[in-house]
Structure 1
Amino acid sequence: MNDDRLYAIGEVARRTGLSVSAIRFYADAGIVEPAGHTAAGHRLYDVHAIARLEFVGTLRELDAGLDDIRRLLAGGVTLTDLATAHLSRLDERERRIRSRRAVLRTIVKQHTEAEQVILMHKLAGLSDHDRDRLIDDFWNEISDGLDASPAFVDLLRSHRPILPEEPSTEQLEAWIELANLVQDQDFRRAVRQQLHDLCALDGAGVMMAPEMLSAFDRGGAVLQEAHEAQQAGLPSDSARGREIAGRYVEFMRGISGEPDSPEYRRRLAVDVLRVEELHLQSIEEAAAPADPHTRYQSLVSTINGTAQEAAAFMPFAWLSAALSASA
């Protein structure tokens, strides 16, 4: 374009892609005024005004407000400040949209009654503090009078939902379902009865003792080491594999009291494969839970984003091979 030429509004509209009415509106609003007028009073624009109009059009497509654009062009705010503030507003709008989408999908899935819609909308927008208080209230009732060690009760309470700052629709849907469940008295009674029955089983006191729970933590740490070694591509019969196998043997000997021997290690190798079967079974049960506490755990895993991690945690065959190699 010729820097000295003035362009009629129709030509400006063609070059910028803006409508004639939009260009007039920006001029009347004092955002991009014309460079001059014809004798008949028609607006004329130079190349600088056209460039500003294209810039304004881009900002409007990004949903920037007129007041912000006016302040930007007047030098009252920088483009970075404007973009930062606008991005924050868009992020908040996106969070609200995800929340509404989750509520609507839950309504469709559960054939929700009209009176429950308001509650669902409130549940989706609860603060971190309110969510914690809701879960604490649930576990306070469930664990009251439970014949179990404080360590076991703490372990139960520790598996709680932590909704991320930017949850997916799936995570929000899981939270809405969980929040509804933990407030439902029938669900509370079912979980409470299930845990009381568990604590009444023969040998439950020994399995739930702090010493045993601590031992399970150590066993879990060894399994995590095996998982990391497998993910790193280390052979099960490598020096690292034999070291991890030895640590697992020491862990199991602390529980069983049996002496270390090649036969003991081969038996553990078979037992570990049985653990793998149980792990796969637990994943299947989480996908289609048959009992209330499993449903609670499944929803928490979805909310916390750990469901896929649990499915990918398969170090058992690797550890079994390491135990066999070490025997």
Structure 2
Amino acid sequence: MNELYPIGDVARRTGLSVSAIRYYADAGVIAPSGHTDAGYRLYDVRAIASLELVRTLRDLGAGLDEIRRLLAGGTTLHDLAAAHLELLEARMRDFQARRAVLRTVVRQQTPAEQVNLMHKLVSMSDDDRARLIEEFWTEVTAGLDLADLVGELVRMRPRLPDDPAVEQLEAWIELADTVRDPAFRSAVRGYFRETFRGAERWPEEEAERLAGILTEAMIAARGGEPIDSARARELANRYVTTLATLTGDPDVDRVRRQVLDADPGPHTARGTALLGRYHALVATINGTPRPSGALGSVWLYRAVGAL
């Protein structure tokens, strides 16, 4: 026998109020299973289970029309859940973006006029972020005919994951603000001009070869390659040999001593100060280990010293 329960018992079983159960009945969501002689509503076990499902779906944000279609067989629970999951994840991304902006405002005591800019930066699309970083590197390396090195620099770009943490969003806000700063761009541009001063007078093939060695050194430094490894010795020897060709000095050992005598400390310290924070922020955004701080040129200088 299919036992029927009065609405008060149903309310206690489901955690719904009596008025809510009546509302769902009047809205055509869950109809009573029967009535008493006095006209009071009665519900069987299946109806009670449906009411419990309705309560759960409502708690998850489902609308009555969606629930009505689900119970009538017009949609599936999977499709309903997938649609709400997508909506919820979009809202969570928006909340995380807002949280990142507010945390940055609190931490940096940001002026009111910059808050709107911060929100725009954190809300940029993947394509917009890529364009901003590529435009930065294009400007600061303009005129350098060193395709391999410039290409490697451009590839060192941030890539926010689909579901970034607040820390990653905060790092992006700082990075985007930094690369948009004309003073920072001018300083980085000056550093590269100084680093590759005279490169335009080098034979193209040798210049590209040297740029390729510096690119490999940059990758090795970021990867933590020891300066006394076989790979480091090979790069250091190629570097010294290429410099000997460029300077026209056949004495490779003398060129090596000249490299070591030309202490790159002050110049490299400037480059590390300029680009160290950039690399650290990119590492945070990409979820990768932070770089050691040594630029490729420093690593290569130390590798030459270890020969």
TM range (shorter): 0.7 to 0.9
Contact 2:30 2:47 in 1 (8 A): yes
Pair 1:55 & 2:53 matched: yes
- Structure 1 CA distance for aligned equivalents of residues 56 and 127 of structure 2: 40
> Following TM superposition, by how much is the alpha carbon of 1:77 offset from its aligned partner in structure 2, in angstroms?
0.6
Give matches, 1:190-269, under 5 Å.
190-200=187-197, 209-215=207-213, 249-256=233-240
Pair 1:165 & 2:147 matched: no
Match of 2:88 in 1: 90
Match of 2:302 in 1: none
Match of 1:102 in 2: 100
> Following TM superposition, by how much is the alpha carbon of 1:192 offset from its aligned partner in structure 2, in angstroms?
2.1
Match of 2:123 in 1: 125
Contact 1:148 1:199 in 2 (8 A): no
- Structure 2 CA distance for aligned equivalents of residues 175 and 78 of structure 1: 39
- Structure 1 CA distance for aligned equivalents of residues 43 and 68 of structure 2: 18
Match of 1:300 in 2: 282
Match of 1:113 in 2: 111
Contact 2:149 2:215 in 1 (8 A): no
Pair 1:178 & 2:175 matched: yes
Matched letter for residue 178 of structure 1: L
TM-score normalised by L of structure 1: 0.69
Q: What does the per-residue CA deviation read over 1:108-149, in whole Å, with 9 as the maximum and x for residues that have no partner?
A: 11111222121111111111111122122222322234x562
RMSD of aligned alpha carbons: 3.4
Q: Relative to 1, partners in 2 of residues 1:112 and 1:123: Cα closer, same or farther, differing over 3 Å? A: same
Q: Relative to 1, partners in 2 of residues 1:109 and 1:68: Cα closer, same or farther, differing over 3 Å? A: same
> Following TM superposition, by how much is the alpha carbon of 1:185 offset from its aligned partner in structure 2, in angstroms?
1.7
Matched letter for residue 300 of structure 1: V
Match of 1:138 in 2: 136
Match of 1:38 in 2: 36
> Following TM superposition, by how much is the alpha carbon of 1:86 offset from its aligned partner in structure 2, in angstroms?
1.4
Matched letter for residue 16 of structure 2: L
Q: Relative to 1, partners in 2 of residues 1:216 and 1:185: Cα closer, same or farther, differing over 3 Å? A: closer
- Structure 1 CA distance for aligned equivalents of residues 190 and 289 of structure 2: 26
Contact 1:194 1:293 in 2 (8 A): no
Q: What does the per-residue CA deviation read over 1:167-216, in whole Å, with 9 as the maximum and x for residues that have no partner?
A: 111111111111112222222222223333333499xx89x943234345
Percent of aligned pairs sharing the same letter = 51
TM-score normalised by L of structure 2: 0.73
Which residue, out of 134, 150, 153, partners 2:150?
A: 153
> Following TM superposition, by how much is the alpha carbon of 1:158 offset from its aligned partner in structure 2, in angstroms?
2.0
Contact 2:66 2:80 in 1 (8 A): yes
Match of 2:79 in 1: 81
Q: Relative to 1, partners in 2 of residues 1:252 and 1:185: Cα closer, same or farther, differing over 3 Å? A: closer
Q: What does the per-residue CA deviation read over 1:276-318, in whole Å, with 9 as the maximum and x for residues that have no partner?
A: xx9xxx9xx9xxx97232222221121111235x56xxxxxxx
Matched letter for residue 45 of structure 1: Y
Structure 2 gaps of 5+ residues are 242-264, 293-307
Match of 2:10 in 1: 12
Contact 1:8 1:44 in 2 (8 A): yes
Contact 2:101 2:170 in 1 (8 A): yes
Contact 2:159 2:286 in 1 (8 A): yes
Contact 1:151 1:209 in 2 (8 A): no
Q: Give 3-state SS (helix, strand or coil) of 1:100's partner.
A: helix
**Which deviates more from structure 2 when the two are superposed, residues 67-76 or residues 25-34?**
25-34
Q: Give 3-state SS (helix, strand or coil) of 1:136's partner.
A: helix
Q: Relative to 1, partners in 2 of residues 1:246 and 1:117: Cα closer, same or farther, differing over 3 Å? A: closer
Contact 2:7 2:18 in 1 (8 A): yes
Contact 2:148 2:215 in 1 (8 A): no
How many residues align? The count is 261
